[in-house]
């Protein structure tokens, strides 16, 4: 039997952060949490359909990594993609409209929950099958390197952040793409959101090397384990990896130890995980931890945090109204967006 990994006991690096930076992270995490809670409400009320995989509990990973990128960098997601899209700057109203299958959605109502996309925000997509987004992210990183080195474009220093889960790291695309990224020193962050469960399979039972970050050594790239429930720790690791990538020093594999507070999807009764395990991770809620951090360091007061929460709640309510009032795609446009228009 493989011994189960204990809860991470890593201490957050002594990273400096301003009040404005702290509020950006906090607002992003609250946006993700409130958005997903509203999705659950709409799903259980029978107003949202299909497979819906929520991100509650993992907000520190999305905010810590994506808010360390520039606006022109690239983000590639999974089927748990709502919060990645929000962190990348896709407006909540357009994400919500997509989940309702409306024409105003970021994928024009054609993608739904698992296929969010925004060329404007360099969101390369959500992907329904595990691992299929990794080659796409690799291609984005390759074109950055190619435009800079082969075509002499000094502005082509964009970095790509590629997210995927622990279950994906046993798939061929993972190993193949890490190998190519290392060979070509591509500007990419491979971000493993290790939430301990691949649908209903416990991570420790599914892989011969449960410490995923150690797999980077086989490809000669840095591998880092980080407490994925601590946004400051994730931010510090991400900033270092982004700086390396932008400087032409190649990829980094980041394993963020995190936990989803809901089932695999909203159709999952979540009966396989023990009550004790859930409670232990709930006690480490990344939003509550970051609230405590901001208050303890006198960066904000409770009034400022409440103002953020109230503003985000209003934004979510407005996004829902926008989605409900938006038009359905026209049947006349059935074949639109299938082929590039000449």
Contact 157, 187 (CB under 8 A): yes
Cβ contacts of 189 within 8 Å, gap of 6 or more: 65, 159, 160, 161, 162, 238, 241, 242, 245, 251, 252, 254
pLDDT per residue over 59-105, tens digit each? 999 999 999 999 999 999 999 999 999 999 999 999 999 999 999 99
Q: Is the pLDDT of residue 4 over 80?
A: no
CA-CA-CA-CA torsion sign (71, 142, 190, 201) = positive
Q: Is the pLDDT of residue 9 over 80?
A: no
CATH code for the domain in which residue 256 is found: 3.40.50.970
Count of structural domains within the chain = 1
The parent domain of residue 58 ranges over 19-298
Which residue is it, tokens 């070509």?
184
pLDDT tier at 337, thresholds 50, 70, 90: confident
Q: How far, in Å, CA of 83 to CA of 63, rounded?
A: 9
Q: In degrees, to the nearest 5, what angle opens at C-alpha 40 toward C-alphas 295 and 276? A: 65
pLDDT per residue over 94-135, tens digit each? 999 999 999 999 999 999 999 999 999 999 999 999 999 999
pLDDT per residue over 24-52, tens digit each? 999 999 999 999 999 999 999 999 989 99
**How much is the pLDDT for 13?**
44
Q: Is the pLDDT of residue 12 over 50?
A: no
- Is there a domain that residue 148 lies in? yes
- Is there a domain that residue 310 lies in? no
- Residue 223: strand pairing partners: 253
- Residue 192: strand pairing partners: 164, 255
Contact 109, 97 (CB under 8 A): yes
pLDDT tier at 5, thresholds 50, 70, 90: low
- Is there a domain that residue 123 lies in? yes
The mean pLDDT value for 282-290 works out to: 98
Q: How many C-beta neighbours within 10 Å does residue 109 have? A: 20
Q: Is the pLDDT of residue 313 over 60?
A: yes
Q: Which of 272, 341, 267, 282 is nearest to 52 (CA)?
A: 267
Cβ contacts of 99 within 8 Å, gap of 6 or more: 39, 42, 48, 52, 82, 105, 112, 113, 323
Return the SS3 of 161: strand
- Is there a domain that residue 168 lies in? yes
Could you give the strand order of the β-sheet that contains 74-76, starting from the edge strand earlier in sequence? 74-76, 160-165, 188-194, 252-257, 223-227
- Is there a domain that residue 81 lies in? yes
* Mode of pairing for the β-strands spanning 197-198 and 201-202: antiparallel
pLDDT per residue over 212-269, tens digit each? 999 999 999 999 999 999 999 999 999 999 999 999 999 999 999 999 999 999 999 9
Q: Which of 106, 60, 103 is nearest to 82 (CA)?
A: 106
Q: How many C-beta neighbours within 10 Å does residue 292 have? A: 10
- Is there a domain that residue 307 lies in? no
- Is there a domain that residue 6 lies in? no
Q: How far, in Å, CA of 222 to CA of 227, rounded?
A: 17
**How much is the pLDDT for 341?**
79
Which segment of 1-5, 53-57, 223-227, 293-297 scores lowest on mean pLDDT? 1-5
Mean of the per-residue pLDDT values of the chain = 94
- Is there a domain that residue 165 lies in? yes
Distance between first and last Cα of the chain = 58
- Residue 256: strand pairing partners: 193, 226
**DSSP code, position 295:** H
How long is the chain? 342
Q: How far, in Å, CA of 53 to CA of 233, rounded?
A: 25
Contact 156, 144 (CB under 8 A): yes
Which residue is it, tokens 């997210």?
163
Helix axes 19-44, 302-325, angle to 10 degrees: 40
pLDDT per residue over 178-213, tens digit each? 999 999 999 999 999 999 999 999 999 999 999 999
């Amino acid at each position: 039997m493989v011994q189960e990994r204990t809860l991470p006991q890593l201490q957050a690096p002594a990273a400096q952060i301003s009040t404005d930076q702290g509020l950006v992270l906090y607002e992003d995490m609250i946006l993700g949490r409130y958005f997903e809670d509203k999705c659950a409400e709409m799903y259980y009320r029978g107003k949202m359909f299909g497979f819906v995989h929520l991100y509650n509990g993992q907000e520190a990973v999305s905010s810590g990594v994506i808010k360390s990128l520039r606006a022109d960098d690239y983000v590639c997601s999974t089927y748990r993609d709502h919060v990645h899209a929000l962190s990348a700057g896709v407006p909540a109203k357009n994400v919500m409209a997509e989940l309702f299958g409306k024409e105003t959605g970021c994928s024009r109502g054609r993608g739904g929950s698992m296929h969010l996309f925004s060329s404007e925000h360099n969101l390369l997509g959500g992907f329904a099958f595990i691992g299929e987004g990794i080659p796409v992210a690799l291609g984005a990183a390759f074109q950055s390197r190619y435009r800079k080195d082969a075509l002499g474009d000094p502005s082509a220093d964009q970095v790509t952040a590629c997210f995927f889960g622990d279950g994906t790291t046993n798939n061929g695309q993972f190993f193949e793409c890490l190998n190519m990224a290392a060979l070509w020193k591509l500007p990419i962050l491979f971000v493993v959101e290790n939430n301990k469960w691949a649908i209903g399979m416990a991570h420790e039972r599914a892989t011969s090397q449960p410490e995923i970050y150690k797999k980077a050594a086989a490809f000669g790239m840095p591998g880092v384990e980080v407490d994925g429930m601590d946004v400051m720790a994730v931010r510090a690791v991400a900033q270092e990896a982004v700086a390396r990538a932008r400087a032409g020093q190649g990829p980094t594999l980041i394993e963020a130890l995190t936990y989803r507070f809901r089932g695999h999807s909203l159709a999952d009764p979540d009966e396989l995980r023990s009550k004790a395990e859930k409670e232990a991770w709930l006690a480490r809620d990344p939003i509550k931890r970051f609230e405590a951090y901001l208050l303890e360091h006198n960066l904000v007061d409770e009034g400022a945090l409440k103002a953020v929460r109230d503003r985000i709640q209003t934004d979510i309510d407005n996004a829902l109204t926008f989605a409900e009032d938006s038009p359905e795609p026209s049947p006349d446009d059935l074949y639109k967006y299938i082929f590039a228009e000449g």
